[in-house]
Amino acid sequence: MSGIRRKVIRVLEGESLAVPPVWLMRQAGRYLPEYRETRARVGSFLDLCYSPEHAVEVTLQPIRRYGFDAAILFSDILVIPDALKRNVRFTEGHGPELDPIDEDGIRALKADGVLTHLAPVMETVRRLRAELPEETTLLGFCGAPWTVATYMIAGHGTPDQAPARLFAYQHPQAFRHLLSILAEISADYLVAQIDAGADAVQIFDSWAGVLGEEEFAAFAVEPVARIIASVKSRRPKARVIAFAKGAGYMLKNYRSGTGADAIGLDWSVPLSFAAELQREGPIQGNLDPMRVVAGGKALEHGIDAILEHLAQGPLIFNLGHGITPQADPEHVKMLVKRVRGWKG
């Protein structure tokens, strides 16, 4: 890392900044016309993920347009199942699909060759760190084992992840083995991203909110804790954000349970509860993405409420989930301007 202390890293290390740094989940994506133009030239979505030239380009697009304080690697959480030969494909209008896995398939999983398969992703990270402005934090990421497992078992996304929940009850040993394999591979993958130039990493548990208390501890907290412990044992200076969407009150012990440096909050987390969580360390979030679609007073009010409640502590301003394709790029511009102009 250069001699510049990047703002996002300063917050991850516990510092409160007068103006919080800002980036947005899915900031490189379909709401940007330049992304749609690049995507149309490449072919499949996975081709885009595995093409360093094009993945670098789409990662840089929102940095050029808005000057966010962090760039997040353009990739997908399902590149690990793809590397495990689960036949991942993305169909326009249908989302990701892959071959559903069963007990025999879990027993047959081999981690050998996964990082070789993912070498283009690390090349993207290396190129990004060389091309990004010095002051911009580069974030790597992976999916949390629970969320990745839900796709592997169902073969696609489902509203409540009933296939994975049922499988976990009916085949507990096999399910835990799957989570263990995914945790091990994910830790290796994050270390490789850090070694390639990522300044920090985020673990996305997008489906944590469907779990009960006991299951959350076993399927969401424990595997993420294993990943973070493994990463930090090898790269002690690594900084990790853990995002468990929909976890609600169970976020109270999520930081201590996982060892994350910061926890991401979705928009359903009350700001009073967010302030309570912030007393224990850095937080990230948590504007409703629909406010970005709405724009105007709805967007202004949402931004101001977060800053009024949370800007006095260690905060990374972000959305409570990914930006949606319907978002107006001008609304994003206004968001960045309003956060940067904060005078709390």
pTM: 0.97
Give pLDDT tens digits for 277-322: 999 999 999 999 999 999 999 999 999 999 999 999 999 999 999 9
Structural domain for 205, as ranges: 7-340
User: Would 201 be classed as within a structural domain?
Assistant: yes
- Indicate whether 38 pLDDT > 70: yes
Is 76 part of the annotated catalytic residue set? yes
Q: What pLDDT sits at residue 116?
A: 98
Q: Which of 31, 69, 76, 226 is catalytic?
A: 76
Percentage of the chain exceeding pLDDT 70: 99
Q: Given a cut of 60, is residue 2 above it in pLDDT? A: no
| 148 falls within a domain | yes
Check 31, 35, 39, 205 and give the catalytic one. 39
Inform me whether the pLDDT recorded for 120 exceeds 70. yes
Residue 2 covered by a domain: no
Listed residue (10, 23, 7) closest to 287, CA to CA: 23
pLDDT of amino acid 290: 98
Asked if residue 94 has pLDDT above 90, the reply is no
Catalytically annotated residue among 6, 26, 86, 165: 26
Asked if 39 is an active-site residue, the reply is yes
What Å distances lie between residue 157 and 30, 109, 170, 222, CA to CA? 19, 21, 20, 23
Structural domain contains residue 157: yes
Over the chain, what is the mean pLDDT?
Answer: 96
C-alpha 189/C-alpha 196 separation (Å) is 11
Given a cut of 60, is residue 118 above it in pLDDT?
yes
Instruction: Report the CATH number at residue 240.
Output: 3.20.20.210
Q: DSSP class of residue 343?
A: -
At 32, the amino acid letter reads: L
How many domains does one find in the chain? 1
Supply the DSSP string of 99-157, one letter for each residue: ----HHHHHH---TTHHHHTHHHHHHHHHHHHHS-TTSEEEEEEE-HHHHHHHHHHSB-
Annotated active-site residue 64? The verdict is: no
Interior angle at CA 82, CA 79 and CA 83, nearest 5:
90
Q: For 236-247, how does the pLDDT look when each residue is reduced to its tens digit (9 = 90+)?
A: 999 999 999 999
Mean pLDDT of the 138-142 span: 98
CB 152 within 8 A of CB 80: no
pLDDT at 159 over 70: yes
pLDDT confidence of 3, banded at 50, 70, 90?
Answer: low
| Mean pLDDT of all residues in 263-281 | 98
Is residue 18 situated within a structural domain?
yes
Tell me the C-alpha distance between 184 and 51, whole Å. Answer: 25
Greatest C-alpha distance within the chain: 58
Assess if residue 180 is contained within a domain.
Answer: yes
Active site (annotated) includes residue 26? yes
Q: Is the pLDDT of residue 92 over 90?
A: no
pLDDT in the model for residue 1? 44
pLDDT at residue 324 above 90? yes
CB contact set of 37 (below 8 Å; sequence gap of 6+): none
The residue from 50, 66, 151, 189 that is catalytic is 151
pLDDT digits (tens, 9 = 90+) for 56-83: 999 999 999 999 999 999 999 999 999 9
Structural domain contains residue 1:
no
pLDDT at site 172: 98
- pLDDT confidence of residue 4: 82
Residue 332: inside a domain: yes
**Averaged over 96-110, what is the pLDDT?**
96
Tell me which long-range contacts 256-264 makes (C-beta under 8 A, separation of at least 24): 256/280, 257/217, 257/221, 257/225, 258/221, 258/224, 258/225, 258/228, 259/225, 259/228, 259/229, 259/232, 260/203, 260/224, 260/228, 261/12, 261/13, 261/200, 262/11, 262/12, 262/314, 262/316, 264/202, 264/318
